[in-house]
Structure 1
């Protein structure tokens, strides 16, 4: 039987007609950058150009860990213990983090099974550098500073006046819950009465992200002036207020 014009027409129609799989779409944001303390929402939304779409199963997961899912009856199940919640509404499954932890940064995948086919998509969740506090004090005569809730890592640099000190301190790192780092550093020589500067250098972004002055304590906590004059003891400083100090040091 020869190849007729009718056969050609039927073949062209079949080739140009989209399948149910092609009519099904899954929408996710490719990449999200999360600032420390910021609420972050990962949305996975399904749509179809055909009527009668019915979701059988929809799920957010990371590696082999499932975070939440929704079934055909639109029942949402939270399947992992962490600071997040899940919401579902009209084909959109949202994974909402109250505060992203370092161990949660990475690639999240959303997968869908429906009566129109299956789809999956991925979102890269990136946690920005920084977050936390720095405390500087004189302990047993030795200048000491502690950086809390550090991510992803950092190098501690000490300054005596305007001079950078090399090889005169020790640094210890501890991994806390959620993957945050606590970095403790102390000088190996006693304070000489001159203020020290303890700064945290981010190797990832190539700049200082935190700094504090460590001054000799001449007053007990009860004797320390309330007006802020004189030398101070322990200094606990929010990181966002410390960058100016480091910038001025680099100009010297």
Structure 2
């Protein structure tokens, strides 16, 4: 019942009263993917000495209270955030590793014997990706980009020439639990020719520029095969034997 009342009140203040006198809050901001970000909320009218104060942060886009602390229990910490209240006056929320689902409106709420106050700020997220890797097989090259936001396309190049056509490459897009995208594009080897190097580039269609590019290894290098590793190890074993023999021969001489 309490959660239902809070949700209704939250919706009311988002649409009716963006701020209330008595609280100051961090201004709206644009964050980078993966960075830790701190939000501040300050009570401009310090409470009476010994009075009980409760403060919380809520994410209005998902209608959920992120953290709630009070003068008896001023700190709460999880894998996603650290929430700390100081002397019933200062409330800080540190979001650990900003992700796409962290964007949106944040509401700070204060409750004490003197009354209740609210304040709102907004978080947007810059374009980003969190990882990239290449895999190769005898049949194809694959480029994967993870944590892509807000959207992206994979473009393949051989040298300076862009490779196009549905028969050349295929792309799959998967929504991640925290709102980013995993984009995997596969280039068929039988659709390529020549010796120029290949690369796959992540294109942002909204901003109309490339976020990153990844060089793809040549056709003779196949990821996942144990033959290359075995040959590499045999080479160094042979080198070690020859080197040891050389020193023994000098010692005996």
TM (normalized to structure 1)? Answer: 0.69
- Tell me by how many angstroms 1:218 deviates: 2.0
Partner of 1:127: 125
Partner of 2:66: 67
Q: CA-to-partner distance for each residue in 1:9-68, whole Å, 9 max, x for gaps?
A: xxxxxxxxxxxxxx95211112122223321111111112x8738564321001211111
Matched, 1:88 2:85: yes
Answer 1 or 2: which has greater strand percent. 1
Matched, 1:39 2:36: yes
Cα 1:170–1:51 change in 2 (3 A) is closer
Answer 1 or 2: which has greater helix percent. 2
Q: CA-to-partner distance for each residue in 1:112-137, whole Å, 9 max, x for gaps?
A: 22333322111212222223222224
RMSD, aligned α-carbons? 2.7
Matched, 1:144 2:146: no
Q: Provide the rounded CA distance (Å) in 2 between the counterparts of 1:78 and 1:52.
A: 24
Aligned length: 200
Q: Provide the rounded CA distance (Å) in 1 between the counterparts of 2:29 and 2:39.
A: 8
Cα 1:166–1:218 change in 2 (3 A) is closer
- Tell me by how many angstroms 1:146 deviates: 0.8
**Residue 179 of structure 1 aligns to a residue in which SS?**
coil
Unaligned runs of at least 5 residues, structure 1:
1-22, 225-252
With 198-207 and 113-122 compared, the bigger mean Cα shift is at 113-122
Partner of 1:156: 154
TM (normalized to structure 2)? Answer: 0.69
Partner of 1:184: 184
